[in-house]
Structure formats: C-alpha cells, structure tokens
Amino acid sequence: MTATVSSATAATITGAQNWDEVAAHHPDHVHAMAQGLLVGDPRADAVITELFSGAAHRWTDIVSALDDPSLVDPTLLAGAPEFRAFLEHASTPPAWFDPALARAGADAWWRFGSLQSSTLYQSLIYGYQARGFTRPLAATGRLTEGTWDRVQATARWVTLATAPGLMDVGAGGWVETLRIRLVHAMVRHHLHAANDWDDDAWGVPINQTYAQLTITAGFLALPLHIAKDFGIHYSRADLEAITHLWRWIGWVIGVEENLLPTSYEDAMRIWRISREFQLQPHEDAKTLVRALLDDGYRADLGLPGPLNNAFHLVTKPFLRPVFAAVSTRWVDAEIATAMGLRSTPLHHLVDLARPVVRSRELVRAIGLLGSERTVARRELRLVTWRLGIDLTDPKIVGARYRAADENRMDSVA
C-alpha cells in the first residue's frame, strides 16, 4: 500500500470517535486499517479501466470468460492484457493455501449450515454500522431498493463460496467470488466517474479496510461467535480450518494478504479491534436496517407461491420484532440504538434455543445423524433448495469445474 492516511483522516472517514485510542493499543493492525481506507483493488480496478478505455471486449465477454475461460476466443484475452493478468493471478493460489484444509473448513462450516446461513442478517447489520458500507449504497440509490434480492444474492454467494469444493479454482464459488470482485470494481469506477465521490472524506468506495472487516469480522468471526452463543461447539482444528477457508475466500475477492487473518485467534483479534471503535453510524444505517427488517426475509415453508406468501404476511408481524430484538444481542447497545434497533426480552429466545441446539449436537456426536460429511451435505442441500441453487447446473457450479471433475461434483451435490 502506498497511501498515507493520518489518524484524523481515518477517524473522519470511519466515524470512529476514538481512533487514536484504539491505535495506541493496536498500532500495527490499526495502521494497516488506516492505509487501507484509500486503497481499492488495483488488479480488479485495472480490468474495469481497461474495459472502458475503448477495448474491443464487453462486460458480457468478461462474465463468459469467468464461467469457462476455455470457451473464450484467444484474441479476446490477447486484446485484454489486464483481464488476462487478473485471471492468471486469481488462478494461481498463494503458497500458504492448502486445498485440503479449506475443504475441511467447508465441511465443518456446513455441519451447521442452516444456522450459519441465518447469521447472514447479523453480518449485514454489522456492516451497516460502517459508513464505508452505507455510502456506496446511498450513492448508487440502493438504500431501500431491491433489499430482498440483495440479501438473496449475498446468501447465494456465501453458500457457493463455503460449499465443500466449490472454492477450488474454476469452481462455482470461485467464479462467483471473482464476479463480485469485478462488480465492486465497477461500482468504484462509476462512483469516481460521476465526480461526486470524495475519497479523502469518505475513503475509496469498497476499500481494502471495508473488505477486510467484511470478510474477517462480518462473515467469519461474528458467525462463529453467534454459533457459540447458540451452543455450537467447534474443535480447535475446525476453527483453524474454517479460518483458512475464509482467508482463501478473502484472497480471491481481492483483500490484500497483510490484511487477512493467519489464524483463528488473529481473526478474532481483528474482530475485537473493530468492536473497540466508537463508531457513529450514518443516518442511512437506520434506513438500511429498516429495509432489512421489512423486506430482507421471507417465511418459507416450501408451500406453493400464494400459500407461502400468505404465511409470510401472517407471520411477519411476529418475526420482524423477533429479528430486531435478537439482532441487538450481538451489536453494542449504543450502535444498535443509532441504527434504530431496540433491545427487548425477545433476545432471550437464543437462550431458549440453546438446549435444542446442544441436544442436536449430542445426537450428531454419537453418530445418529450419520457421518459428519453426510450431515454437511444434508445441510447444504437444505439451504441450496431454499435459495433455488441447483448444484448439478454447470452455470451455477462452473462449467470448467464440472467438466474437469464430475466425480467430485457428485460428492458435493
């Protein structure tokens, strides 16, 4: 990183009232966070710059190349050196990456996949407290529009990225992660091109620090903390494997290596540091939380469309306050209030659920639910069914991956 960001600038960009105090306790980590506020994703940004610089290829050509590079006209890649370099880099894992360990992390994650999927709402609320998250949405006019579609798209990505084997190079999770990475670069390009975005005041849109905390805190540490609150127990080996999986996901999505966690303890340290900041969420955070509670979920029993819609309308008046109250359990009180959340006794529903979760854990531990991989597959099938993901569809899982390894795809599906 070449940008130099002062503590005062970092505090202004993030809204953290005590930036200097936290920096004094964790100088190395906080310094890296400060510098990351003015850095986007140079490799992905170069691809988008190339796309809009009069190149012969189009966005649809890039998407097709991600799905299956073997079907792309070689002249396209020859005329798009930045995109070719981007693909080559993303297809060459770093020396620390261990596919077997990542696969073990995916298996461990999906033993409780349906519960982990439900933590997505908490991950989004965690992100809403950061101005770096809300401002791009406000600038693109997507504060209240398409909330349900945005939640579903994020859920599908998390599912594909964490499904056993699907973050292998060329597989569906890897493809979708790269696609999202380039979409982020496209957002940065458009916001800068419109000349109404101030990097010095707000940080680079979807910057490195935002990406680091989204992956490490929002999608890794927070869900594991929530799982523990529900009574789920992971072994130390499980935690390290899950961390390795998310470290790899973070690398593929463009987070710089020095900002990625090297161990479970490192991930939790980054999350704890992020919680030490006394943030002042932007007013847009209330709008996003309200939209999430109003249109970010559907009560789904697998019934025919009209019946399921009717069930959702009937249950929404109860489910909305439950989601709102439970969400306050894992958000600092002052920040929850600033985002329009209010704690009520309903958050104790987690305490009531804990014995049920622990009972399921006992049944699983003695083998009555099948092998751990069988349990993971069952959970994966349940979630993919709810999300409408067909793991046998080459367009979903990645054509190149399916053609290269049919047997492994059968084991995933």
Residue 76 lies in a domain: yes
State which residues form the domain around 114. Answer: 7-397
Residue at token pair 């959702």:
312
The pLDDT value recorded for residue 133 is 79
Q: Which segments of 129-235 does DSSP mark as H helices, in order?
A: 131-139, 147-162, 172-193, 199-202, 208-213, 222-230
pLDDT of 293 strictly over 50: yes
**Positive or negative CA dihedral for 159, 160, 162, 164?**
positive
Site of tokens 């399916």: 402
Check residues 325 and 40 and name the one with the higher pLDDT. 40
- Does 407 score more than 60 pLDDT? no
What confidence category does residue 393 fall into, taking pLDDT thresholds of 50, 70 and 90?
confident
Residue 314: per-residue pLDDT: 77
| pLDDT given for residue 403 in this prediction | 41
Is the C-alpha dihedral spanning 151, 152, 157, 159 positive or negative?
Answer: positive
| Within-domain flag for 2 | no
Dihedral sign, Cα of residue 215, residue 221, residue 225, residue 228:
positive
How many Å apart are CA 74 and CA 1, to the nearest integer?
33
Q: How close are the terminal C-alpha atoms of the chain, in Å?
A: 41
* Percent of the chain with pLDDT strictly greater than 90: 46
CA-wise closest residue to 31 among 55, 5, 67, 60: 5
Q: pLDDT band at 266, cuts 50/70/90?
A: very high
Amino acid at 363: V
Please state, in angstroms and rounded to a whole number, the distance separating the CA atoms of residues 151 and 148: 5
Opening angle at CA 385, ends 148 and 104, nearest 5: 105
* Domain total in the chain: 1
Tokens 């519960």, located at residue: 115
Is 403 domain-assigned? no
CA atoms of 1 and 35, how far apart (whole Å) = 7
Q: Is the pLDDT reported for residue 304 higher than 50?
A: yes
Within a domain: 34:
yes
> Tens digit of pLDDT for each residue in 79-133?
889 999 999 999 999 999 999 999 999 999 999 888 888 888 889 888 888 887 7
Provide the residue type at 41 as one letter. Answer: D
As a dihedral over the C-alpha atoms of residue 161, residue 272, residue 151, residue 197, rounded to 10 degrees, the angle is -100
Asked whether residue 413 is assigned to any structural domain, the reply reads no
Taken as a whole, the chain contains a residue count of 413
Comparison of pLDDT for 120 and 22, the residue scoring more: 22
As to burial, measured by CB atoms within 10 angstroms (0-12 exposed, 13-18 middle, 19+ buried), residue 75 is exposed
What span, in angstroms and rounded, lies between the C-alpha atoms of 401 and 319?
40
CB atoms within 10 A of CB 289: 25
Establish if 412 belongs to a structural domain: no
Cα separation of 283 and 288, whole Å?
Answer: 9
Q: Tell me how crowded residue 67 is: count the other CB atoms within 10 A of its CB.
A: 19
Token readout for 330 is 């894992």
Residue 268 lies in a domain: yes
Could you tell me the pTM of the whole model? 0.90
Does 407 reside within a domain?
no
Q: pLDDT-based confidence at 72, cuts 50/70/90?
A: low
Environment class of residue 315 by beta-carbon count within 10 Å: exposed (0-12), middle (13-18) or buried (19+)?
middle
Which pLDDT band holds residue 78 (cuts at 50, 70, 90)? confident
